[in-house]
Amino acid sequence: KSEYACQGSKARLRCKAGSSTVIEILNANYGRTQSGSAVCPHKNATNTRCVGKQAFAKIPKKCNGKPRCNVIIDETFFTEDPCPGTFKYLHVIFRC
């Protein structure tokens, strides 16, 4: 599964309700690798080479082994800004 959440919003990772499956994070990036019109449109979305390493360290710790997981996409959770001035998003690839 693939989930996107824009900066300032909430990511909601879910496995099938009523099943015994749990989340396993395969990859996560908090930054921007797609143009502004493709994902989370914004005027400050020109830098498409923004890859933050913090997401792949933090998201598995928060979500692995749970049937569902919510992450607020802000500076409180992601304390390192991989590309100041760029409107970012979280992209998570996971399986259940």
Segments making up each domain of the chain, as ranges: 2-95
Confidence class for position 20, pLDDT limits 50, 70, 90: confident
Q: Is the pTM of this model over 0.85?
A: yes
Q: What is the pLDDT of residues 41-72, one digit of tens each?
A: 998 888 899 999 899 999 999 999 999 999 99
How far apart CA 6 and CA 32 sit, in angstroms, is 10
Judge whether residue 38 has pLDDT over 90: no
How far apart CA 2 and CA 13 sit, in angstroms, is 9
Q: Is-contact 91 25, C-beta < 8 A? A: no
Structure tokens at 56: 């792949």
Task: Give residue 73's pLDDT.
Answer: 95
* CATH 3.30.565.10 is held by the domain 2-95: no
Mean of the per-residue pLDDT values of the chain: 93
Which residue from 36, 15, 40, 43 is spatially nearest to 91, judged by alpha carbons?
Answer: 40
Q: Is-contact 82 30, C-beta < 8 A? A: yes
Task: Give residue 35's pLDDT.
Answer: 80
Q: What is the pLDDT of residues 76-87, one digit of tens each?
A: 999 999 999 999
Which residue from 86, 82, 38, 21 is spatially nearest to 57, judged by alpha carbons?
Answer: 82
